[in-house]
Structure 1
Amino acid sequence: MNTRDAGPLSALSAEHLSRYYRIISAAIGVHGFPELLSWLQGELQYYLPHQRLIVASGDFASHRIDLEVIPALPGAPSRPADPRPLSTFLQTLLHRWIEGKRLPLTLDILESGVPDSRSPADAPDSAARILHGGRCLLIHGITDRRSNRDSLYVMLGSKRYSRPALNAMQVLLPYLDTTLRRVASPVPSHVHDSTSGEWGLSRREQEIMKWVRLGKTNLEIASILGISAFTVKNHMRRIFKTLGVASRVQAAMKMAPPEERGE
């Protein structure tokens, strides 16, 4: 029998199957960002050792992607405000993944096409700074056929990734993807510094609420602002929590001018 056709779990011992079960079970219990970090840095590291995880999704061809770096670099948000410094590099990795029949692959950083990746760059969101200190990349992705969007997951490691790591990435990526979609990113401190005094919302959140009040959907707002619908959804979660409301209508009414609220 072809072991590849049987799947990466077919030849595992009971001990390894038990470890996979614990990792997947732990993922189900992740609902917040601190829990996510704990899960990524816990037993998952046995199969997928990494210093940093880069997650990118969206339309790579037009450089309209939603980007997250976990854990964030010192002095930088986990979601870089401008993903363009990394978008060309990530587009190259996406093409390599597609050319490899959409299977997990590993690349040496010095061969990955990152300029000056051996030394950090000044820009906080530069590829060189994000990848500094690593040696190899472990790459896998998911294509959403319904929305025609690609999601790319890139792990930065200090050692070369072996075949077992590639197999583990293939098995665990669906759980990693689902877990990340459940968890909203932490709001960086610098975002709070630019909030309005009355509502406590960031500029981006106020901008989103402007379109919500005009009746736009998350998909429409994402298209208008050039971000992903997933990012809009995360912002809406924060807006609801900040305003103490449970729906878009309540949020829009709370932020409406006094004359519109009948005051």
Structure 2
Amino acid sequence: MEPLVILSQLEQEYLLRGIEASLKVHDPRSFFLWTQGQLQALLPHDVMVGLQFGPHGELERLECWHGTVLAAPALDHLCSRAEGLALRLARAWRQGPARPAVSDLGCSERDGVLGGFQAELEREGYGNVLVHGTGETGGGETVFVLLRLPLRPGARHGYFLELLLPHLHLALLRLGQGTPVAADLARPMSGRELEILRWVREGKSNYEIACILGISDLTVKNHLQRIYRTLGVSNRTQAVSRGLSLRLLDRAA
């Protein structure tokens, strides 16, 4: 049975102010100011990562907001679209029960959804972590990862995030109403990679693609692994879906 959380009058006021402020979020700057302002009253944190997944589980977008300076290596470790820490935390949450997940340094228990990340979180200095998402919405899913919470997260913080989640989700969507573009990628796709991705879309196996292009199966496999890393996906279906959303396959045809 979930613990009952009753908001104090001050917390209710903070919540209302946070929701009202979310209605004015329409650009990256106002989103950052909102997360560093009104949201901090209920959910104090140093770093927040928002991840949008497509209908097939492919990562479509990753945004990071932080009130403290993150060195380039630390930012890459956290926000890499291939196997960054935030992406792995989000995937772990998606595989667990649809409720807020926590990992706090003051807890001796290392089981649960995020238990396997405890040592890595401690090593990277991220401290207490709170993760929650929308679940499947028909068009995909959004997950938010909050790191370096100064207080040990529990049912109360999870409830706050659950209440604010729809407003975080809608605000994030408003930041990206335009069509995704290939410039969102960490590097441009090569002509050969686009060619292979087009044949994957046609349902060709690695062997068939190798025969068509006059290369070896191993070369096709290596190209696909680079394609997956560049697109931030983990399989053929996700790669095709991501390629279509970025209009890469139009240019490859």
Letter matched to residue 101 of structure 2? L
What secondary structure does 2:133 align onto? strand
Out of 22, 26, 45, the position equivalent to 2:17 is: 22
Once the two structures are TM-superposed, the CA of residue 136 in structure 1 deviates from its matched residue by 1.4
Structure 2 gaps, min length 5:
195-237, 248-253
Aligned to 1:113: 116
Once the two structures are TM-superposed, the CA of residue 137 in structure 1 deviates from its matched residue by 1.2
* Cα distance change on mapping 1:116 and 1:25 into 2, 3 Å: closer
1 CA distance for matches of 2:244 and 2:71?
25
Higher relative contact order (CA 8 A, sep 6+): 2
The residue correspondences of 1:180-191 to structure 2 (distance < 5 A) are: 180-184=172-176
2 CA distance for matches of 1:31 and 1:228?
26
- CA-based RMSD of the aligned residues comes to 4.3
2 CA distance for matches of 1:173 and 1:3?
19
1 CA distance for matches of 2:95 and 2:57?
14
Letter matched to residue 154 of structure 2? S
Aligned to 2:81: 82
The residue correspondences of 1:5-154 to structure 2 (distance < 5 A) are: 11-58=6-53, 64=59, 66-71=61-66, 73-75=70-72, 80=79, 82-86=81-85, 87-96=87-96, 98=97, 102-108=98-104, 111=110, 112-114=115-117, 116-119=120-123, 132-147=124-139, 149-154=140-145
Q: Is the 8 A contact 2:90 2:131 kept in 1?
A: no
Higher relative helix content: 2
1 CA distance for matches of 2:244 and 2:133?
17
Aligned to 2:146: 155
Q: Is the 8 A contact 1:54 1:155 kept in 2?
A: yes
Once the two structures are TM-superposed, the CA of residue 134 in structure 1 deviates from its matched residue by 2.1
Q: Is the 8 A contact 1:61 1:91 kept in 2?
A: no
Please give the TM-score of this superposition, normalised by the length of structure 2.
Answer: 0.56
Is 2:168 the counterpart of 1:176? yes
What secondary structure does 1:54 align onto? strand
Once the two structures are TM-superposed, the CA of residue 202 in structure 1 deviates from its matched residue by 4.2
Letter matched to residue 160 of structure 2? A
Once the two structures are TM-superposed, the CA of residue 14 in structure 1 deviates from its matched residue by 3.6
Is 2:242 the counterpart of 1:226? yes
Letter matched to residue 82 of structure 2? P
2 CA distance for matches of 1:23 and 1:85?
29
User: Aligned residues, how many?
Assistant: 185
Once the two structures are TM-superposed, the CA of residue 69 in structure 1 deviates from its matched residue by 2.2
